[in-house]
């Protein structure tokens, strides 16, 4: 497969970091990150590296991918999205080559490189003893690529299963941001923001808690669609009865 076959392209307009529901701790860390990239030239003069390696971990559907896209937008950089679950090949030697090529592309373009399902490396190493030696070489390749990453390229890795990641890989990331399920209060704020775009008559939605933002969004939009469709069907039925009475 060609290198371009592994890269995920998104045509969606990304949210800004201000629009994402982040914890105060994560907001502070990302605000500092953006400041460092803003003043990267002066930091380089003092031989101070920017924090350009970020590890996002935690519950699925809580904004890791959305955050990566928002960071790229805030920095005015292209984002290259790579799902490691799809690039890891049964022929592991090819995997090292493919990942190396993606890193080179990101460096050439001074882009944001987003590695999703970062646990794929750790999981394969744990579950396939026959390929353990080759997997170790792959991990070493990734470590070397991370170590050689220049200041003007940003690496973001994300996983829902941080415990399986090789400790040597984890040490390479200066920032580690945890994503947890939102509280009831946080979800209420999110529900309100989702429903505010619809007319008042469509906002009476049963709210579910102890779920992720992604799940809340799906539930809200599904409920609103059901109300809209029911409303349209009621209008159609009323019109049908009206026409029937006129014919009589």
Using the predicted structure, report yes or no on whether residue 243 has a pLDDT greater than 70.
yes
Stated pTM of the model = 0.84
Write out the two tokens for 94: 């090819």
Using the predicted structure, report yes or no on whether residue 30 has a pLDDT greater than 90.
yes
Tokens 């350009």 correspond to 52
Using the predicted structure, report yes or no on whether residue 57 has a pLDDT greater than 90.
yes
Confidence band, pLDDT 50/70/90 cuts, at residue 206: very high
Mean pLDDT throughout 122-126?
59
Pairing status of strand 79-83 against strand 112-116 = parallel
In 3D space, the residue among 31, 19, 26 whose CA is nearest the CA of residue 75 turns out to be 31
Confidence band, pLDDT 50/70/90 cuts, at residue 134: confident
């Amino acid at each position: 497969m060609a290198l371009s076959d592994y890269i995920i392209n998104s045509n969606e307009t990304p949210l800004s970091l201000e629009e994402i529901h982040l914890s105060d701790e994560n907001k502070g860390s990302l605000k500092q990150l953006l400041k460092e990239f803003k003043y990267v030239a002066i930091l380089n003069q003092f031989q101070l590296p920017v924090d350009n390696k970020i590890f996002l971990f935690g519950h699925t559907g809580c904004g890791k991918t959305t955050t990566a896209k928002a960071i790229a937008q805030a920095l005015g950089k292209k984002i290259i999205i790579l799902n490691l679950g799809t690039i890891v090949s049964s022929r592991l030697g090819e995997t090292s080559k493919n990942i190396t090529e993606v890193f080179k592309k990101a460096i050439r373009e001074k882009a944001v490189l987003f590695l999703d399902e970062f646990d794929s490396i750790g999981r394969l190493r744990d579950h396939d003893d026959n390929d353990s030696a080759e997997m170790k070489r792959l991990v070493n390749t990734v470590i070397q690529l991370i170590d050689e990453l220049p200041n003007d390229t940003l690496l973001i890795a994300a996983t829902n299963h941080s415990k399986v990641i090789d400790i040597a890989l984890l040490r390479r990331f200066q920032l580690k941001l945890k994503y947890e399920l939102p509280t009831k209060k946080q979800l209420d704020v999110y529900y309100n923001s989702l429903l505010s775009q619809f007319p008042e008559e469509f906002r009476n939605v049963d709210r579910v808690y102890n779920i992720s933002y992604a799940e809340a969004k799906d539930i809200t939009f599904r409920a609103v669609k059901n109300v809209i469709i029911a409303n349209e069907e009621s209008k159609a039925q009323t019109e049908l009865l009206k026409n029937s009475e006129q014919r009589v």
